Every structure is written in C-alpha cells, then in structure tokens.
Chains A and B, each alone.
Chain A
C-alpha cells in the first residue's frame, strides 16, 4: 500500500514537472497570442473549478460568477492603480478617499479582491440559503445586474461607464497557472474532506443530511463564500491581464460561459471542469471562424456575427437534453482509473441515483 501511494505521488510529481516545463517552453517560444490564450485558459480553469463547487458539489444553482468577477476585478484594480493613474482616469468625479492615496502591490490587491467578493457572497448568501427553493438563481442573477448598475453609476468609486484603464499587466503565465493549480488542488482537497462529503450529502438529499446532523445552511454558505473568494481573485487576475475594465465587461455572458463549461465537464467533477474549461476556451477561439466568411471547397459561407453565441446556447440545450452527464459525470481523475482504462479492465462502478442528473 505504501509503495502504491508513493508511486502515485511520484506520478503526480512527474506530471507537475512536465506541465511546468511545457509552460516554460510556451513562455519562452510561444507567440504573444498563444501565451494570452494559455493565460486566459488558466484563469477560466480556476473560475470553472470554483463555480463547480457551488453548482456541482453542493448542488445549488447559482448565477453569481459575473458579479464576483466584477467585484474582484474592480477592487484589485482600484487598489493596485497608482494615485496618479487614478487621478488621470477619474476625470468626471475624483475618486473617493482613501482610494486616492492607497496603492497596494499585486498580491495584496488580488487577495483583497477575493475577500471583498467573499464578503458580498456572505451578505447575499445568508438571506438566500435560509429559504428553501430556487431563489439563489434569481438572487445571484439580480445581484449581477445590481453590481453592474452600481459600477455604472457610482462615478467616484468605479469611474462609471468610463471604467478603469492603465492597470498594470501583472498577470503572467506563471501567476495564472499557479493560481489555477492552487485552486484545483484546494477545491479537490475540499471535495474529498469531511466538509466536501457533507456538501455532497446536502446535494443528494438535504433532509436526510439534516437528519444526521449536517447543518445544510452552513455548508451551502461555506461553498458559496469559498467559490466567491476564488472567483474574486480570478477577476483580479483578469483585470490585470486585459488592463482595462468597464461595467459592460462583466455581463451575464461570463456566467453563461462558465455554466456551459461546468455542464460540459460534468456537474460535480473537478477534473471535468478543468478539461471542459480548456476545451471551451480553446474551442471558443476556434469558433470565431464561424463569424468570418470561410470557404469549403468552392462554396463561400458568409460570416454571421453573433452566430458564435447562438451555437453556444444551442450547445447547452442539446447537452442538457441529450448528454446531461457531460464529459466526466461525477467521476474524478485518478491514477487507478487511468491504469484500469489502459489495461482495459472494465470496472463497472455502481452508479447510484444522482440528483444532479
């Protein structure tokens, strides 16, 4: 047993080293475009995995990510911009004190973004999770709109529709992938801990979980707040990647993107979320060609702008109707599973009735 465990840990270490070297090669020899896509991919992996914590593992349908992304992005941007930059950006109304004199380095501003997002998650989570029912979806959807409205109107806090520009491009390939790996590691560990077991129990059957002493409210709130924290940091990373943020950036489409990703990967599977995030980010770029005219043989198919989104929504509906389990269902990656597949021994695991599918 011990050697088996050491072997598995060895494999994981080797995989980690391979990945690190791949990243190094990319950062050295890859073009700017590819590095940008890879960084974007990493951020989305982290976002998807933390969104999966709420929607998949604890089973509560939240539409929150775009709100927490906005909160994290604005907080970290406002804190990391220099007072001079802020004075130049806020041309209509000067930025409020103390933001006009504060400037934090990159990491503290990221963490603050996460904390602010988590605080707001706590604020809206407490009334929502006390009530049974499907209200979380509408509350988080509405909260997204509210954040957008506030960002558009609070001129002296967020610079309104003008947004913030000139944010330092501090998100490198390493920061993004480091954050992604940390998030995946932490959430995977959480899912396998006793908290994670309790969350899955709440997802399966809340009444039964309550009857054996699991405080469903507390666990739902915990998952929601943790997810918001990581999403907030992801928002900060995004802000420092694209260096300009405005309220219109954090539209519902971001949440929808993440929703497709976790449904495609399989609700409840962290591995699935990673895989699907990679596929959708890369595939989304590839799908841009639908919006440009292209030729097949001798026929020219004209590009229809906006077709990409129609395809995405159709994809989601088709997934839900025909392939609800997604790529991985609720299974996670494991070295055991991989070797079993390679040896082609069909281990038919018993699939208990899963309330997500």
Chain B
C-alpha cells in the first residue's frame, strides 16, 4: 500500500473517527457527571437520524431545516429520558441505573421497530454534499471534509460551553462532587438536563452525518456505533471530552487502516473495537487522557 492509498484511507479513518467521537462525547459527558453509562445513547442517535429522514421525506422540509429540527428534537428527547427514566433512579445504586439504561435502550429500539418498521430506509443525501473533489491524486468526498469540520467545530463549541460559561463550570463541578455543588446553590437537575441535551444533540449530529455516509437507516443502526462510541470514550479517558474525540479518531483510523491492510479481516472489524477495549483495560484503564478515579 503506497503513500497515496495510505493517505486516502487515513482520511476515511479520520471521518469515521469523527463520527465515533461525536457519539463518544455524549457518553463521556453523561458518565462524567452521573457515573452512568447511558446505553440508550446509540439509540438516541438513531432517533435523530429518523427525525431528519422523516423531516425530508414526509414533511418535505429543506434539508438544513430538517437537520436542525432533528438536532433540537433529539436534545429534547435526551432531556425527556433523563426526566422520565434516569432521575427517579439517580439516588439508587449503580446497578439499578444501569439496568434502567438498558431498558430505555431496548425500548427505543423496539419502538423504532414498531413505529418505523424494520426495513432499512434510504437516507436522502443533499446535492451539495454529494460531490467528490480531487486533491493531488486523492479523491475526497465533500461529506468527509464536512464531517471532520463539524467534529472540530463541535469540540470548539463544547470547550466554550465548558470553560467559558457558568453552566459549563457547573457541569465540571458536578463531575467532581455533586453534593457540594448542590450546597453551592446550583440547580443540579437543570445542569444535568443540559448535559443530556448537549450530548444528545452531538449524537444527533453524528447520526445525521453517519446516515449521509452510510445512507441506509434502520432502527437497530445505533447499537454498533453506540458500543464503539463508548469504547472510544474509554480509550480517550472517560469523563474527558477531548479524550472522547481523540479516542474516536484513533478507533476510526485503526479500524479503517486494519481493514485496508488486511481486507480478508473485513468481517471482523467490529470485533477489533472490542479487542482494543480489552487491551486498554489491561494496560491503560484510565484511558489516554484520563485522570485516576477519585
């Protein structure tokens, strides 16, 4: 494999990695604040895809309006899930919250199957994003550039939120010590709802970009990206937003490059993420950018 092919696959990998990173951000934010693995996160991404799909298909909105609507509605869904399912078990022990998360995940998947039907649907990719450009021998779809750009942009926005706003500071405080934050007069419920909203919005953005890259959506599409998003979050150090994006990029690049070098292992690409997880747990449990557990 020569340098040109390698660069080509590298860009593919970075694109896929940005998608994983967008999903990982939601996982890592919720885990950082609530110490809860939100199993439903992948399915929230799926719902975002479907809202965008139906916005274009049934309500015939222009694509940008449909995308914005999908992101907003998915953020609301995240808040709703927190309110309905996670808040009642917030003071319950960990295993109860995890089981509830599994329940929500399963509920979303099966509601999707019942409401949307199990048959995969074709996602309409807007004209403006379907072109491929040639840059010094490389063929780069515009979509890939947009994906990477969106990921970087979202990371920057998140940084602004976390380090320049009061709400962001509250989020960081809750991640450190929720009880003391309550004592400081912070409305913890509101901040947690905001965290879910931001995480779900990121997932929806990732989902829409995913649906444009692999334009076939079905209600069970969120399971694998969700799993890999979590592995990416662990790889980067769970609780750390930069780590989530970094982990996502690494995972994406690793997956694509491995399949490029050994195409006969293509069927095992999903298993590779799991192997990465085991290796991380064996040698580097806190992840690349993680701090030791308090």
Q: Name A residues whose Cβ lies closer than 8 Å to a Cβ of B.
A: 55, 59, 61, 63, 124, 127-128, 130-135, 137-139, 141-143, 145-146, 149-150, 152-153, 252, 256, 259, 263, 267, 304-307, 309-310, 312-314, 316-317, 320-321, 324, 355-357
- Nearest to B282 among chain A residues (CB) is A127
The answer to whether B135 has its CB under 8 Å from any CB of chain A is no
Neighbouring A residues of B137 by C-beta, 8 Å: none
The answer to whether B182 has its CB under 8 Å from any CB of chain A is no
Considering the complex, which residues of chain B in the window 201-239 have a beta carbon less than 8 Å from any beta carbon of chain A?
Answer: 223-224, 227, 230-231, 234
| A320-B89 in contact given A124-B278, A313-B103 (Cβ < 8 Å) | yes
Residue pair B37, A149 in contact (C-beta under 8 Å): no
Residue pair A309, B110 in contact (C-beta under 8 Å): yes
Interface size class on chain B is 35 or more
Neighbouring B residues of A55 by C-beta, 8 Å: 95
Considering the complex, which residues of chain B in the window 155-182 have a beta carbon less than 8 Å from any beta carbon of chain A?
Answer: none
Residue pair B98, A137 in contact (C-beta under 8 Å): yes
- Complex A-B: 11 CB contacts under 8 Å: A61-B94, A61-B95, A135-B234, A138-B234, A141-B227, A146-B270, A153-B267, A256-B102, A256-B106, A307-B114, A356-B93
The answer to whether B274 has its CB under 8 Å from any CB of chain A is yes
The answer to whether B132 has its CB under 8 Å from any CB of chain A is no
CB distance from B274 to the nearest CB of A (A): 4
Q: Which of A139, A267, A317 is B85 in contact with, Cβ under 8 Å?
A: A317
Neighbouring B residues of A153 by C-beta, 8 Å: 267-268
Q: Which of A61, A146, A252 is B271 in contact with, Cβ under 8 Å?
A: A146
Neighbouring A residues of B270 by C-beta, 8 Å: 145-146, 149
* Alpha-carbon distance between A306 and B98 when the two chains are bound, in angstroms: 24
Residue pair A317, B103 in contact (C-beta under 8 Å): yes
Residue pair B95, A138 in contact (C-beta under 8 Å): no
The answer to whether B51 has its CB under 8 Å from any CB of chain A is no
CB distance from B239 to the nearest CB of A (A): 11
* Alpha-carbon distance between A59 and B95 when the two chains are bound, in angstroms: 8
> Looking at A128, A135, A143, which has the most chain B CB atoms within 10 Å of its CB?
A135
Neighbouring A residues of B98 by C-beta, 8 Å: 61, 134, 137
CB distance from A188 to the nearest CB of B (A): 21
Residue pair B89, A145 in contact (C-beta under 8 Å): no
Neighbouring A residues of B107 by C-beta, 8 Å: 310, 313-314, 317
For the residues of A in contact with B, the DSSP-based class is helix
CB distance from B264 to the nearest CB of A (A): 10
* Alpha-carbon distance between A61 and B35 when the two chains are bound, in angstroms: 14
CB distance from B259 to the nearest CB of A (A): 13
* Alpha-carbon distance between A305 and B118 when the two chains are bound, in angstroms: 11
Neighbouring B residues of A149 by C-beta, 8 Å: 267-268, 270-271
The answer to whether B92 has its CB under 8 Å from any CB of chain A is yes
Residue pair B231, A138 in contact (C-beta under 8 Å): yes
| A127-B281 in contact given A146-B274, A259-B99, A357-B96 (Cβ < 8 Å) | yes
Neighbouring B residues of A316 by C-beta, 8 Å: 99-100, 102-103, 106
Residue pair A320, B96 in contact (C-beta under 8 Å): yes
Q: Beyond the given A135-B281, A320-B99, could you list 15 further A-B residue pairs with CB under 8 A, ordered by the A residue number? A: A59-B95, A61-B94, A61-B95, A127-B282, A134-B37, A138-B227, A145-B274, A149-B267, A263-B99, A306-B113, A310-B110, A320-B89, A320-B100, A324-B96, A355-B93
CB distance from B133 to the nearest CB of A (A): 35
Neighbouring B residues of A317 by C-beta, 8 Å: 85, 100, 103-104, 107
* Alpha-carbon distance between A320 and B94 when the two chains are bound, in angstroms: 12
| A131-B110 in contact given A153-B268, A317-B100 (Cβ < 8 Å) | no
Residue pair A143, B106 in contact (C-beta under 8 Å): no
* Alpha-carbon distance between A130 and B230 when the two chains are bound, in angstroms: 19
B259-281 interface mask toward A, CB cutoff 8 Å, 1 = contact, 0 = none?
00000000110110110011001
* Alpha-carbon distance between A130 and B270 when the two chains are bound, in angstroms: 24
- Nearest to B31 among chain A residues (CB) is A134
Closest 7 CB pairs of A and B: A313-B107, A316-B103, A153-B267, A309-B110, A142-B274, A313-B106, A317-B103
The answer to whether B129 has its CB under 8 Å from any CB of chain A is no
CB distance from A305 to the nearest CB of B (A): 8
The answer to whether B285 has its CB under 8 Å from any CB of chain A is yes
Neighbouring A residues of B126 by C-beta, 8 Å: none
The answer to whether B131 has its CB under 8 Å from any CB of chain A is no
* Alpha-carbon distance between A326 and B129 when the two chains are bound, in angstroms: 52
Neighbouring A residues of B274 by C-beta, 8 Å: 139, 142-143, 145-146
CB distance from A181 to the nearest CB of B (A): 28
Residue pair B293, A324 in contact (C-beta under 8 Å): no
* Alpha-carbon distance between A135 and B102 when the two chains are bound, in angstroms: 14
Residue pair A309, B106 in contact (C-beta under 8 Å): yes
Neighbouring B residues of A313 by C-beta, 8 Å: 103-104, 106-107, 110
Residue pair B268, A309 in contact (C-beta under 8 Å): no
Neighbouring B residues of A152 by C-beta, 8 Å: 267
* Alpha-carbon distance between A115 and B231 when the two chains are bound, in angstroms: 29
CB distance from B170 to the nearest CB of A (A): 24
The answer to whether B88 has its CB under 8 Å from any CB of chain A is yes
* Alpha-carbon distance between A267 and B93 when the two chains are bound, in angstroms: 12
CB distance from B247 to the nearest CB of A (A): 13
Neighbouring A residues of B80 by C-beta, 8 Å: none
* Alpha-carbon distance between A61 and B282 when the two chains are bound, in angstroms: 19
The answer to whether B111 has its CB under 8 Å from any CB of chain A is yes
- Nearest to B111 among chain A residues (CB) is A310
- Nearest to A126 among chain B residues (CB) is B282
CB distance from B34 to the nearest CB of A (A): 11
Neighbouring B residues of A139 by C-beta, 8 Å: 274, 277-278, 281
* Alpha-carbon distance between A307 and B115 when the two chains are bound, in angstroms: 10
Neighbouring B residues of A356 by C-beta, 8 Å: 93, 95-96
Neighbouring B residues of A132 by C-beta, 8 Å: 293
